[in-house]
Amino acid sequence: MTKATKLLTALPPPQRQRLMTLAREVSFAEDTRVFEAGGRADRFWVIRSGSVSLDQQVTSHQRVTVASLSAGDLLGWSWLFPPYQWDFGAEAFSPVRAYEFEAQPVLKLCEEEPALGLSLVRIVAEILAHRLEMTRGKLMEQYAIKRRGAF
């Protein structure tokens, strides 16, 4: 299994410092919906403290938590890929403090500094690979539980 990659610690210090010039400190109260699946993805966050649940709407009345994120974790990657819409919803599970980055200034910085852009894309890809692996494990676990219950 891959290990979880933290965006800010994975970036080389000079690139991290450049990216942080675009950061804005924000907070979310417990139970705040940060974003909804299908909404416009025009920013991302790096969690400083607290936890956020990523969820998927499975019925009109039921959401399923697919991942829990905490300090150092990247919240939101859909800003980097067309059609720039959130694939999941996100909710603050506890009070959250985070660094918020607007997508357009970050993308402009990546164009101006291609090495930073390449580093950022590689790190986000590592994060996505890890989350895909974790999700696959959870699905296999759920499948095994259901199969045991079928007998």
Q: Domain ranges in the chain?
A: 7-149
Long-range contacts for 66-73 (Cβ within 8 Å, ≥24 apart)?
A: 66/135, 66/138, 67/131, 67/134, 67/135, 68/93, 71/47, 72/6, 72/7, 72/8, 72/9, 72/46, 72/47, 73/4, 73/6, 73/46, 73/47
Residue range 13-17: mean pLDDT, rounded: 96
Give tens-digit pLDDT for 112-123. Answer: 999 999 999 999
- Say if domain 7-149 classifies as CATH 1.10.3720.10: no
Per-residue pLDDT tens over the stretch 118-144: 999 999 999 989 888 877 777 777 667
pTM above 0.85, yes or no: yes
